[in-house]
Amino acid sequence: MAENPTNPKRKQARPSKANVSAARAASLKALKQVFNGQSLSAVQMHTTDKLEDARDRGLANEIVNGVLRWRWQLEFFISSLLKKPLKPKDIEVQLILLMALYEISECRTPDYAVINESVELVRKSGKKWAAGLVNAVLRSFTREQEKLLSSIKDGVVRYSHPAWILEKIKADWPQDWQQILEANNQRPAFCLRVNQMQHGVAQYQQQLTEQGLESSTVALADHALKLSHGIDVRLLPGFAEGAVSVQDAGAQLVAELFDVSAADRVLDLCAAPGGKTCHILERYQSVNSLLAVELDELRMKRVSENLHRLKLEARAKLIAADARDIKQWWNGEKFDRILIDAPCSASGVIRRHPDIKTLRRASDIEPLVKLQSEILNAAWQTLAAGGELLYVTCSIFKDENQNQMQNFLTVNDDAAEIKIEANWGRPCDHGRQLFPGEQDADGFYYCRLKKAD
């Protein structure tokens, strides 16, 4: 296991004792909502992000992300230590146990403090009857941790992934599945994209150093800098003035592969929150007519805000519409370059969004593949002869990637693949796959298509 919750070397810093109860209560609230089907980013705004002290927010995020990463292994510990399983109506008790087991394994808080706080939290959650049970389970865990860890045989428990994701990754990547699963349990890199319209990378790195922020360049992407520690983005030098954006290095490869010329008419489908829209405009400064289309109006507001902060709004037109219904957004003039950053399973970004393992279902994949195919077919109609389309997902599932491309190429005689030659990722039957964790980037798939002249 690359990263193990029971490895004491990885123990994290903790806030002062006075803050710990609030952090745990907020973590419990956030986890309960994620287990009820809501995305972590949506619930964080109303729970852990509301904690006033940055150290509390740090601990709460550590606990929530840790539980979502290691859920399957922590559940194995609980089921090994309980005589009979908890009932679904006692979800708070289950979550408090998951949180405490993660903290005992991974955080610097002394075991006795975690146990006392957890017993207190279970009382406050209206489950007084479970106080003794929580106390007993956690005490047993502190004694039996090593034995339990060495008894793990099952892959689901070992790699802490739901069975369907584990099996799908194993089937798609028989040589690499263990490495992928291990990378999915790592903490993601904090990667920046320096706005090349304002600064060179070395110049901006100097500004970071002057602020005491340690960073390193990233071989994968030429305008990327990796920060050694996470930070509130508002504290980054020049952030409000558009000097820099937060964007994973794998996502930054998209603009590089997009290869736009000055006079090109550019279409960016599925654009929100606009990371790639902005990067394309930063990189190709002569592009003056980019159309960005996004289904979700609220998310489209984020595109607008990002363009505004980076002073790029004059060069892009935004339409909130369904990409599949070209009547809603197309005026009949063909595009020379199209980017489809398709809605997908997000199986390549599990390390950044560990809630995916809890929220996604195997049955989600087929409808997603259909949606991607419909968006592709719609976009193709608007592409000029000789034009290029770049298809991107943050997935590692072949159904959404090379199989999707295979089906498209089989049906469309006027489509041909332009092979991506690169010193990163894996060539696929069609397109190229970057694995999660490779060069510390997220997992992305890219395929370039050209329309016959």
- Rounded CA-CA distance 28/22 in Å is 10
Active-site hit among 191, 394, 428, 447 = 394
Residue 61 contacts residue 383 (beta carbons within 8 Å): no
Q: How far is the CB of 324 from ligand SAM (least distance, A)?
A: 5
Given the complex with ligand SAM, which of 93 and 394 has the nearer CB atom? 394
- Rounded CA-CA distance 265/283 in Å is 15
Given the complex with ligand SAM, which of 274 and 437 has the nearer CB atom? 274
CB under 8 Å to 208, separation ≥6 — which residues? 214, 215, 225, 227, 236, 237
Given the complex with ligand SAM, which of 158 and 276 has the nearer CB atom? 276
- Rounded CA-CA distance 388/338 in Å is 6
Orientation of helix 402-411 relative to helix 365-381, angle to 10°? 40
DSSP summary character for residue 333: P
Given the complex with ligand SAM, which of 47 and 247 has the nearer CB atom? 247
- 394 catalytic? Reply is yes
Q: How far is the CB of 313 from ligand SAM (least distance, A)?
A: 16
Q: How far is the CB of 320 from ligand SAM (least distance, A)?
A: 9
CA-nearest of 223, 357, 371 to 284 is 223
Beta bridge partners of 7: none
- Rounded CA-CA distance 124/96 in Å is 11
Strand 415-418, strand 444-451: pairing: antiparallel
Given the complex with ligand SAM, which of 104 and 267 has the nearer CB atom? 267
- Rounded CA-CA distance 289/118 in Å is 56
CB under 8 Å to 10, separation ≥6 — which residues? 3, 4, 106
Q: How far is the CB of 395 from ligand SAM (least distance, A)?
A: 9
Q: How far is the CB of 311 from ligand SAM (least distance, A)?
A: 18
CA-nearest of 451, 379, 354, 314 to 102 is 354
CA 27 from chain centre, in angstroms, equals 19
Closest residue to ligand SAM, based on beta-carbon distance: 270
Q: How far is the CB of 338 from ligand SAM (least distance, A)?
A: 12
Q: How far is the CB of 157 from ligand SAM (least distance, A)?
A: 31
Q: Which two tokens stand for residue 70?
A: 């290691």
Given the complex with ligand SAM, which of 145 and 404 has the nearer CB atom? 404
CA 386 from chain centre, in angstroms, equals 34
Q: Please report, as ranges, the residues that interact with ligand SAM according to CB under 6 A.
A: 270-276, 293-296, 299, 322-324, 341, 343, 375
The gap between the terminal CA atoms of the chain, to the nearest Å, is 51
Strand 190-194, strand 224-227: pairing: antiparallel
Given the complex with ligand SAM, which of 63 and 323 has the nearer CB atom? 323
DSSP summary character for residue 137: H
Where in the sequence numbering do the catalytic residues fall?
394
